[in-house]
Amino acid sequence: MNLLNLDSLPIQLRNAIMVQSLKPGQVLYRQGDPAGMFYVVEAGRLKLVRYGEDERTTTLLVARSGEGFAEVALFAEVYPCTAIAEIASQVIAYPKPLLLSALRDYPDLAEDFMTLLVQRIQALQIRLELRDIRASHERVLRYLRYLAQPGRTVIRFDRPLKDIANDLGLTPETLSRALTRLERDGRISRNQQQIILHNSSAA
Amino acid sequence: MNLLNLDSLPIQLRNAIMVQSLKPGQVLYRQGDPAGMFYVVEAGRLKLVRYGEDERTTTLLVARSGEGFAEVALFAEVYPCTAIAEIASQVIAYPKPLLLSALRDYPDLAEDFMTLLVQRIQALQIRLELRDIRASHERVLRYLRYLAQPGRTVIRFDRPLKDIANDLGLTPETLSRALTRLERDGRISRNQQQIILHNSSAA
DNA sequence: CGCATAGTTGACTACGCTCAACCCTGGTGG
DNA sequence: CCACCAGGGTTGAGCGTAGTCAACTATGCG
């Protein structure tokens, strides 16, 4: 039983899910809206952002095809962040009360969900750890190594560098300079959208 | 049923728990050790730190009396961080396989555990959001407001400022200067270990 | 073809880090 | 009981680096 595998779900939950299509830039739900659904990305890409005061925005998560999000909403009254489609996307919506009762009734499903939560925790911890690296080029390098699949050394960004800069807590200019510096120092190579890591223990 | 309330636990789990005492500075488990236990702080205070390369350390969590930790270990082979007692402490240890099977058997317990995981996610998100605030004094102010109980305006630190500085991604010097600046600007007052927030919507 | 946006590069600024000295407190031992 | 010491906290001076603002290029889309 798996949240991402529709056929494996209990029938009453399976029957209650809905599919929703989103245009690029479309908002799925807003920070502060009553929390009614849990979502899984069927296709496309969404981002979850929190708006602080004075224009600052923090991207809490980028959810890609096959990934779930809004898990926090199951245990809260309102959504703590805003979900926006970065590109055209389809999402599957699970009504909160039904999913909650399914989690009570099916330990397999609950275990699956807990695994999701734990992975989320680990991802956040890694991002936090990244922020402790002061030097921008070192931070970027660590980020790249984290992105690279173990063993592989090539990375292709599927979203604008300026968004990645924001995730890393840098300005686009600083990220750009960090990348050129890493290239100058021979730590990476770049051709068009592709980045190749060099000579390093890819963590 | 509640993880933190021993009497509410199923009997086979209740019988398996162990209490352990720790001296200040003592290590409970180390990053990389095989993950065998989940813990709850009975008394005292522990910190969970990750060691990066070149001396950097990230404090992932400070667990106080009544709080659980090492939840990630239930879904991993090894502990991803090191747990150290900051002061003399007692912890309750739950053997991983027993707790896992209890989570399967008792939906109430599982729900309780999921709530814990979600709270952890939210806390990490808040810390990440804090890091997006560049100006040190604004970051510190937000942190203070976050620490203050809703409605209350007085904060008492129970651990050294240098540790707090590290949590905030600042040096002790910068934190010190940020606090004096906030005081100079009338945003806070200080007397000995106590800080009072002023004139603000305490978020 | 023109516009909007992303990315890059440059010059300047500003803020946090580093290193250093100093104060203060608490603990220890003579 | 006091002298000494260790560690935390504060303050100062100087430096380095990321941010800011600006100009310019490249790319994609209408």
pLDDT in tens, B44-96: 999 999 998 778 899 999 999 999 999 999 999 999 999 999 999 999 999 99
User: Chain B residue closest to A103 (CA)?
Assistant: B107
Query: What does pLDDT average to over chain A?
Result: 93
B194-198 contacts, C-beta under 8 A, 24 or more apart: B194/B154, B194/B155, B194/B156, B195/B144, B195/B154, B195/B155, B195/B156, B195/B157, B196/B153, B196/B154, B196/B155, B197/B144, B197/B145, B197/B148, B197/B153, B197/B154, B197/B155, B198/B153
- pLDDT-based confidence at residue B201 (cuts at 50, 70, 90): low
Report whether pLDDT(A169) > 90.
yes
Q: What is the pLDDT of residue A200?
A: 64
Which of B60, B105, B131 minimises the CB distance to A125?
B60
Q: What is the pLDDT of residue A170?
A: 98
Q: Look at residues B138, B118, B119, B122 and name the one whose alpha carbon lies nearest to residue B130.
A: B138
Q: Any long-range contacts for A143-148 (C-beta under 8 Å, 24+ apart)?
A: A143/A168, A144/A188, A144/A195, A144/A197, A145/A197, A145/A200, A145/A202, A145/A203, A146/A203, A148/A197, A148/A202
Contact flag, residue B166 CB and nucleic strand C, below 7 A? no
Task: From the CA of B117 to the C1' of D25: give the distance in Å.
Answer: 48
Backbone phi, psi, residue A159, to 5°: -150, 165
User: Is residue A69 within 8 angstroms of chain B, CB to CB?
Assistant: no
pLDDT at B202 over 80: no
Looking at chain B, the whole-number percentage of residues with pLDDT higher than 90 is 83
Angle at B57 between CA B51 and CA B61, to 5 degrees: 95
**Cβ distance of B52 and A125 shorter than 8 Å:** no
Is A17's pLDDT higher than 60?
A: yes
Whole-number pLDDT of residue A127? 97
Which among B170, B135, B172 has a CA at the least distance from the CA of A134? B170
* Distance between A132 CA and the closest CA of chain B, angstroms: 6
The nearest alpha carbon in chain A to B108 belongs to A104
Q: Test B128 with A125 for CB contact under 8 angstroms.
A: no
Backbone angles phi, psi at A177, to 5 degrees: -65, -35
Q: What is the largest CA-CA distance in chain A?
A: 58
What average pLDDT does this structure show over A54-74?
Answer: 93
Kindly report, residue by residue over B107-153, the tens digit of the pLDDT: 999 999 999 999 999 999 999 999 999 999 999 999 999 999 788 89
Backbone phi, psi, residue A100, to 5°: -60, -45
Confidence (pTM): 0.94
Q: Which of B80, B122, B131 sits opposite A131 (nearest CB)?
A: B131
Residue-level pLDDT at A202: 44
Residues of chain B contacting A52 with CB distance shorter than 8 Å: 129, 132-133
Substitution target in B49, B75, B105, B120 with the highest count of A β-carbons within 10 Å is: B75
- pLDDT tens track for A111-158: 999 999 999 999 999 999 999 999 999 999 999 999 997 888 999 999
- Model confidence at A199, pLDDT cuts 50, 70, 90, reads confident
Tokens of B98: 């027993």
Q: What percent of chain A has pLDDT over 70?
A: 98
Closest CA to A129 of B112, B174, B65, B57: B57
Give the whole-angstrom CA distance, residue A59 versus residue A51: 9
Tokens of A60: 């809490």
Cβ burial of A46 (10 Å; 0-12, 13-18, 19+) is: buried
pLDDT tens digits for range B23-41: 999 999 999 999 999 999 9
Q: What is the pLDDT of residue B203?
A: 45
pLDDT tens digits, B162-172: 999 999 999 99
